[in-house]
Amino acid sequence: MAITSTQSQDHVRNVAIGRYHDDGTVAEFDIECGFKPRYVKIQNLAATGCTIEWFEGMDDASAYKRVVAGDGTVITTLGITPLVRGFTVGLDLDLHVTDEQLSWIAIG
């Protein structure tokens, strides 16, 4: 039996929390939080109730996605991409709906 384990030795130095609301035509968007995140969680607090999470080491534009019905899956497109000073949120239509608020947390 082989065990593989990885761990980041950096201490948590940055945490940012915010909200995003788009009452126009929804599109991919960037959040600038001032640091490159190692973890991002975004929650639609309206009817869709969709949540996506991205962890350091995951591919760009990917995320773990859970819908209100409870179904969870790893998506490989339209997810979260880390940036030097923030992150990009892809246009996942379960998450990003016109005139619905998104809440997010990023940890770096």
Digit-coded pLDDT (tens) for 21-48: 988 888 999 999 999 999 999 999 887 7
Give Cα 39 to chain centroid, integer Å.
8
Residue 9 has what pLDDT? 62
Q: 37 in a domain, yes or no?
A: yes
Q: What is the pTM of this model?
A: 0.88
C-alpha span between 82 and 8 (Å, rounded): 17
Q: 52 in a domain, yes or no?
A: yes
Q: 12 in a domain, yes or no?
A: no
Contact (CB, 8 A) for 104 and 31: yes
Q: What's the chain's Rg over C-alpha atoms?
A: 14
Q: 18 in a domain, yes or no?
A: no
Domain count, the chain: 1
Q: 20 in a domain, yes or no?
A: no
**Which domain does 44 fall in, by range?**
25-107
State which amino acid sits at residue 87. Answer: F
